[in-house]
Amino acid sequence: MSNLNRAEQPIGIFDSGIGGLTVVRAIKDLLPKEDLFYLGDTARLPYGNKDRLTIERYSLEIAGLLTAEGAKLVVVACNTASALALPRLHEVFRIPIIGVIESGARAAVAHSRNRRVGVIGTRATVASRAYERAIQTIDPAVTVLSQACPLLVPLIEEGMFDHSVTIEMLHHYLDPLIAERIDTLVLGCTHYPLLKKTIAGVVGDEIVLVDSAENCAGQVVEVLRDGGLENRAERPGYLEVALTDSSNPFFKTADRVLELNISRVQTRIVQGVTLAATPVVP
């Protein structure tokens, strides 16, 4: 395929579920002409408390589905999959694949004055130390303080954006980071931008929040430009959304809050082996 034809192909974006729609929102804002195909692996979410092998396997399968949709570039709109599966994805696929960690790390280093950066994310993201490595590759003098926040995703998925329970959990997770005098906090999970206002209220004006969705979208712009892959169509791009399971109650909340106006959701099955096709007769 020539680069000109490839430029007309969609950008593939995936997440373990719905949170990656924050990245879709950011990409649409910066690249209104690009067609976007979003795939949320809602049948197997969340990824954030699972192991590296599982997360790599799932990410390969989902990225495979996106290449089958003709994606010219894949965005891993999930911090957990970016932290644990990006090297393996680069090994397997030849199209550009962009995660959310690197751009978030760059933004954090750029914003921090006192070189004390906090990172919040899922257990798997925090345990991987991916942000720490990425930040210290840019500036080894930065101290990174990480905190796994496993309850934030369920609270966000319940739409409890400013519930007293959410604020109490935020204090539980963030007060120790504030006490360590961070001046920059990376929202290291694509769900968290939905909680940005509440987090800002808890940490105060002195701490800059780094939104990995926004920074990732900026990196997509660069990669498309450098590769000559920008869609030059004279019309607004479409957004197609597919999920691997049909019943995610959080989808409507995210669609509304992010003002994406998604009219139709397709289903893609990521099939497991059919062991059960051979029932054992006792």
* C-alpha 216: how far from chain center: 9
- Check residue 151 for interaction with its own copies (CB under 8 A): yes
- Check residue 54 for interaction with its own copies (CB under 8 A): yes
- Do the beta carbons of residue 145 and residue 180 sit within 8 Å? yes
As a whole number of angstroms, the distance between CA 249 and CA 252 comes to 7
Token pair 């209220």: residue:
201
Query: How many residues of this chain bind its own copies (CB under 8 A)?
Result: 55
- Check residue 155 for interaction with its own copies (CB under 8 A): yes
- Check residue 191 for interaction with its own copies (CB under 8 A): no
What single string gives the DSSP state of each residue in 148-208? E-TTHHHHHHTT-TT-HHHHHHHHHHHHHHHHTT-SEEEEESTTGGGGHHHHHHHH-TTSE
Residue 149 is among the residues annotated as catalytic for this protein: no
Residue 78 is among the residues annotated as catalytic for this protein: yes
Residues 61-80 contacting its own copies, CB under 8 A: 61, 63-65, 67-68, 72
CA torsion sign for 213, 9, 221, 219 is positive
- Check residue 129 for interaction with its own copies (CB under 8 A): no
Closest CB to its own copies among 141 and 280? 280
Q: What are phi and psi of 241, to 5 degrees?
A: -125, 130
> x/- contact string, 238-277, with its own copies (CB under 8 A)?
------xxxxxx--------------------xxxxxxxx
Cα-based angle 190, 186, 57 (whole degrees, multiple of 5): 45
Closest CB to its own copies among 67 and 143? 67
Q: How far is the CB of 165 from its own copies (least distance, A)?
A: 5
Active site residues: 78, 189
What are the residues binding its own copies (CB under 8 A)?
A: 1, 6, 42-44, 49-51, 53-54, 57-58, 60-61, 63-65, 67-68, 72, 92-95, 123-124, 150-151, 154-155, 157-158, 164-165, 168-169, 244-249, 270-282
